[in-house]
Amino acid sequence: MKQERGFRRLDFERLPPGEQPERALEFERRMRTRRSVRDFSAEPVAVELIESAVRTAASAPSGANQQPWRFVVVSDPEIKRRIREAAEAEEKENYERRFPDEWLEALEPFGTDWRKPFLETAPYLIVVFRIDYGLDGERKIKHYYVQESVGIACGFLLAALHVAGLATLTHTPSPMGFLTEILDRPKNERPFLLIPVGYPAPEAEVPILAKKPIEDVLSRI
């Protein structure tokens, strides 16, 4: 991607002081209602909502503005089936042989296992790939801060989907190489995150959890 050079004046909206806390608290309130969902409805979702969220994600900051991400949106039932089967094969191996006892103990309160029906039920899967290096013919172009950049973009994506009224799950089957093969991605792209997206099933439940209080996560110096 050819980068534009030069500068232009910053387009920045400075809010009235009285409006700043109102906006901040409203966004906090909405984001604190976000939960990871594993029981999805098959109800269709307007693709425009997905595209809007991806545009938001793609606006995230990145090292040297290299934008080292690819968002593959999957709605084809056959592709979703293949992804589920491959993910379940890896996860079955994880739960039965690979995961240490400490990790299984940590997962126990969530009631998860190797079965991943949500990968077929959710109307969309967004597979986020990190682009580890650019390609100019056979020449590799180094990318900087790839992990950090893609992580920030995923945060933008999850927030945008939630604000649009959609449920999500951050799913990381390990290893994830099968996604590269099934989705026919090039050698410089690596799977980063698999996000089922849709509406929660009417009977969907989530674990009762507590977030750390602000004094445990914020240090002021």
Q: For residue 115, is it within any domain?
A: yes
Q: For residue 15, is it within any domain?
A: no
Q: DSSP character for 7?
A: -
Q: What is the pLDDT of residue 2?
A: 65
Which residues face 40 on adjacent strands? Answer: 200
Q: For residue 197, is it within any domain?
A: yes
Output the pTM of the full model: 0.95
Q: Average of pLDDT values for 101-125?
A: 96
Q: What is the mean pLDDT of the chain?
A: 96
Q: For residue 37, is it within any domain?
A: no
* pLDDT reading at 1 higher than 80: no
Q: List the one residue out of 62, 72, 59, 66 whose CA is nearest residue 141.
A: 66
- The pLDDT-based confidence of 137 (bands split at 50, 70, 90) is confident
* pLDDT reading at 202 higher than 90: yes
Classify residue 70 by burial, with Cβ atoms within 10 Å: 0-12, 13-18, 19+.
buried
Strand order in the sheet with 167-168: 69-74, 124-131, 189-198, 167-168
Q: Average of pLDDT values for 146-152?
A: 98
- The pLDDT-based confidence of 138 (bands split at 50, 70, 90) is confident
Q: For residue 19, is it within any domain?
A: no
Q: For residue 220, is it within any domain?
A: no
Q: Which domain holds residue 144?
A: 47-201
Q: For residue 92, is it within any domain?
A: yes
Q: What is the pLDDT of residue 43?
A: 98
- CA angle centred on 148, ends 160 and 57, rounded to 5°: 20
Number of domains making up the chain: 1
* pLDDT reading at 132 higher than 90: yes
Q: For residue 97, is it within any domain?
A: yes
Q: How far is CA 175 from CA 100, 154, 158, 199, 216, in A?
A: 15, 19, 22, 27, 33
- What CATH number is attached to the domain comprising 99? 3.40.109.10
* pLDDT reading at 216 higher than 90: yes
- φ, ψ for residue 72 (rounded to 5)? -100, 115
Q: What is the pLDDT of residue 5?
A: 79
Give tens-digit pLDDT for 25-47: 999 999 999 999 999 999 999 99
